[in-house]
Amino acid sequence: MNTKHYDLIVLGFGKAGKTLAAKFGSMGKAVAMIEENPLMYGGTCINIACIPTKTMIIAASKGLSYDQVLNQREVVTSRLRNKNFGMLDTNEHVDVYTGHGEFISNKEIAVTAGEDKIILSSETIIINTGAIAIKPNIDGIDTATGFYNSTEIQHLSPQPSTLGIIGAGPISLEFASLYAKLGTKVTVFNIDSTILKREEP
């Protein structure tokens, strides 16, 4: 199998990675950007974190219905995702690979997309693989239904009439306030006596 060489390989299409890829590409360097999920072009903040949740909160504050809030979220994230993809895809020095990247040596990454596989090499490889939601260690959670993490709850349909949220950190309370504003009866379960325990009182 032939190996394609680059000046820079970026594994993961997040904020830092896309910025580096664009900068090096603008300097005429050969850059490979690898992202396995086309719904994550642009990274965590644009697609599953800060921007979509704030978009939902603003839409709810305007009195939109639950379905309209979900639709507004999709409009904003898809527009930004397409913009971020286009920023690199139109750069003549940047190749975007949509597939699973895996190190096969210190300087080589195999990219697999379905039946297709290609080997990429570079002296400089940036790991920019983003974040995933943590599943709490609760007995029975793996087999129970109706549990959602912070990514999954952004696509929950139809709107739940009741919602229990485990934890009282910033992300938990953000979703609690959002769903309460939309008319869902929300209960927050917290092991501590105070909320936002990492913040100043």
Rounded to two decimals, the pTM is: 0.88
Determine the pLDDT at residue 25: 97
Q: What is the pLDDT of residue 64?
A: 97
Q: What angle (nearest 5°) sits at the alpha carbon of residue 127, between those of residues 39 and 91?
A: 60
* pLDDT score recorded for residue 37: 95
- Give the pLDDT of residue 32: 98
pLDDT at 132: 80
pLDDT computed for residue 127 by the predictor: 95
Along the chain (201 residues), what's the average pLDDT of each consecutive run of 10 residues? 93 93 97 96 94 97 97 98 96 97 97 94 94 85 91 94 96 97 97 92 84
User: Is residue 42 a contact partner of residue 84, using CB atoms and an 8 Å limit?
Assistant: yes
Q: What does the alpha-carbon distance between residue 121 and residue 189 come to, in Å, rounded to a whole number?
A: 48
Q: What is the pLDDT of residue 130?
A: 81
Nearest to 160 by CA among 58, 33, 70, 35: 70
> What residue ranges define each of the domains in the chain, with the CATH number in brackets?
3-127 (3.50.50.60), 132-201 (3.50.50.60)
Rounded-to-integer distance, Cα 46 and Cα 83, Å: 11
Question: CA–CA separation, 68 vs 76, rounded Å?
Answer: 12
